[in-house]
Structure 1
């Protein structure tokens, strides 16, 4: 991507205006049952960003060409970095609290299995999904989880289609959903806010930022402590989450799918695609695997 596109003044001017307008509105609380829905500036910025996307509205396309929208993607990572650095600065002073919560902080990784145990039966029994359900539900479908599915099944198979579907939906709506859900759960005062902060650490920078900011906005007096727990949890997810999904979550998803759907004859990836499409042809070759070429390239 040309540097001139990344430095286009229209993109940065739009970001500044949207940020100022969102901060001007400020945090709004909407009573909802026993709790309240917390609307953060991030929510307004998300809505404005969608409305000003040249791929969504024709009026925006006249002012902002599509290349500016494409250039905004990699800049999101840069904008998240200061917040991630903020996490690091809060973990140190709160190290004693983190040590006291040691077992809970480590075992909270097992909580990620809960989403799979709920979502997989719904996907198979209610929505009649095939093996796409395994890839879609075994994890939160971030980059490391996609790599696991790609290595084990290939991205052209149904499992790869499932994990990529969850990845796309999570990228588009996950941050917004996390911000709204976390703030509402914190306002209910049912769960310990530190437990909610630990639940924010799912391995996604934008999601953990939105989630922890919503909880901290509800309980500003515990802001630093909550950010420390969220940051430490996110770090633990990066360190242990991959092994949890690879050695525990994925095997459980396979066995649970077999239990729900019945045993199915193992097929190569290419044949799985044909079967999921309802085709009777089984002569589709398996997807090429890198390890199959080792004998040809090794000296």
Structure 2
């Protein structure tokens, strides 16, 4: 009975946070010539993160952020994402013919997943990471990378700690980061279509944050943005594992052994 009550309180809390975030609405901020639209999604993440800090996590709030509630939320997050993915699947259909015409672009953007290795690995090693860098730079640290690292090295290894750290950081800050990055890239001259395709990074929450920010910039292109982003996300989910295993892993191994003498193969 106590656990059910705690769960009901959690659901009520989430609904209140959503309501507050929607009331705040989309808030544009201008930095020089740069205009960034902060979405309700951003405010919801910030509110829940701030209230989850130790200073606020007392009494009533401690019950909401209990280990049982956190475990429940993590375990059943997929059920919340399923309707969203069904919606994105429906968004692909109206733009299917257009998407097929630029199909090679969607395939080419898969090479962008190697950026975590090409850029992230040298930075991680420069910061002093060693085997942890292998787990934290193989990809965005989503389920595919988490599964690969856990099977090959176990999560109780330096590589496992690396991928788990990135998984947690991505969960906390991923959607927030991409919802701000997308309008910044648009202000630098990147087209809406290109950024919509780039939104499909392999994480539903990150893709939603990015594509929603783009829709806020160009609401008249909402169908195109959501269609391109959803198609890119589906393709990344399908090809991401093969890109990781056959391209990212060999490249990372080569670069790691090159930059870290005596690194274990």
- Spell out, residue by residue over 1:184-213, the C-alpha distance to the aligned partner (whole angstroms, 9 max, x if none): 323x05112111111111221111111111
- After TM superposition, list the pairs within 5 Å mapping 1:11-160 onto structure 2: 11-53=10-52, 57=56, 58=58, 60-61=60-61, 64=64, 66=66, 67-124=68-125, 126-160=126-160
Query: C-alpha separation between the residues in 2 aligned to 1:100 and 1:7?
Result: 51
Deviation at 1:228, TM superposition (A): 0.6
Deviation at 1:240, TM superposition (A): 0.6
- After TM superposition, list the pairs within 5 Å mapping 1:254-269 onto structure 2: 254-264=253-263, 266=265
Structure 2 residue ranges without an equivalent (≥5) = none
256-265 or 166-175, which deviates more = 256-265
Distance 1:70 1:51, change over 3 A: farther
Query: C-alpha separation between the residues in 1 aligned to 2:157 and 2:74?
Result: 27
CA contact (8 A) 1:194 1:226 kept: yes
Secondary structure of the 2:165 match is: helix
Tell me the C-alpha RMSD between the 2 structures.
2.3
Distance 1:217 1:151, change over 3 A: same
CA contact (8 A) 1:55 1:61 kept: no
Q: Which residue of 2 aligns with 1:273?
A: none
Q: Which residue of 2 aligns with 1:175?
A: 175
Deviation at 1:53, TM superposition (A): 3.1
| Number of residues of Structure 1 aligned to a counterpart in Structure 2 | 263
Distance 1:108 1:123, change over 3 A: same
Secondary structure of the 1:93 match is: helix
Query: C-alpha separation between the residues in 1 aligned to 2:14 and 2:227?
Result: 28
Distance 1:62 1:105, change over 3 A: closer
Deviation at 1:75, TM superposition (A): 4.5
Q: Which residue of 2 aligns with 1:279?
A: none
Q: Which residue of 1 aligns with 2:221?
A: 222
Query: C-alpha separation between the residues in 2 aligned to 1:137 and 1:177?
Result: 17
Deviation at 1:87, TM superposition (A): 0.7
- Spell out, residue by residue over 1:58-106, the C-alpha distance to the aligned partner (whole angstroms, 9 max, x if none): 2543663614444333453333333222111110110111011111011
- Spell out, residue by residue over 1:40-69, the C-alpha distance to the aligned partner (whole angstroms, 9 max, x if none): 001111122123338551254366361444
Q: Which residue of 1 aligns with 2:242?
A: 243
- Spell out, residue by residue over 1:205-233, the C-alpha distance to the aligned partner (whole angstroms, 9 max, x if none): 11111111111111111111111111111
